[in-house]
Amino acid sequence: MDKNKEELSRFSDAKKAGLYTVLFICTGNAVRSQMAEALVNHFLGGKWAAFSAGIMPMEINKNVIVVLGEIGVDISNKKTKSIELFYGCNFDLIITLCSDADKLCTIYPTDMPKIHMPFRDPTISFFINFTLLSDYRNLRDEMMNKIVGFLKEVE
């Protein structure tokens, strides 16, 4: 089955199961939104089904795969997705994770609650073309605390 159809089927199954659904959006769906989706599905999978998309999807950053793998979360088979894939899906919550996504994603084709929860992009470094794995670990831990904690409160 095609990866896009799998995602839409997963969304439909989550709704049928009565799970809360959340869509994480960032520019490239390569770092922050992928990480947020994986963390929520791993830690809150019994109550929440998380999805992610980008405005201009890129390739998943390999450091994201590494730091999630360090805590037992495997996303090595995941693919990036465009926000357009989820048009028509009625999420319980949409969370934008970067200011570009928040600015560019002003119109989503439903009236779902949308909040902005910005996180620093670890690919942007003071040193051009030089990022540390520790930056990705810090992002992972910060997202785990803020996002997972926030969604537990929303339940």
Contact 60, 78 (CB under 8 A): yes
Q: 26 catalytic, yes or no?
A: yes
d(CA 80, CA 108): 19
Catalytic residue among 14, 26, 35, 89: 26
Exposure letters 12-34 (e unless 16+ CB within 10 A, then b)? eebbeeebbbbbbbbbbbbbbbb
d(CA 49, CA 13): 10
Catalytic residue among 39, 50, 64, 98: 98
Q: What letter represents residue 143's amino acid?
A: M
Catalytic residue among 23, 65, 101, 105: 105
Q: 89 catalytic, yes or no?
A: no
Taken in order 104, 105, 109, 115, the sign of the CA dihedral is negative
Contact 96, 25 (CB under 8 A): yes
Residue found under tokens 């794995």: 133
Instruction: Tell me the catalytic residues.
Output: 26, 98, 105
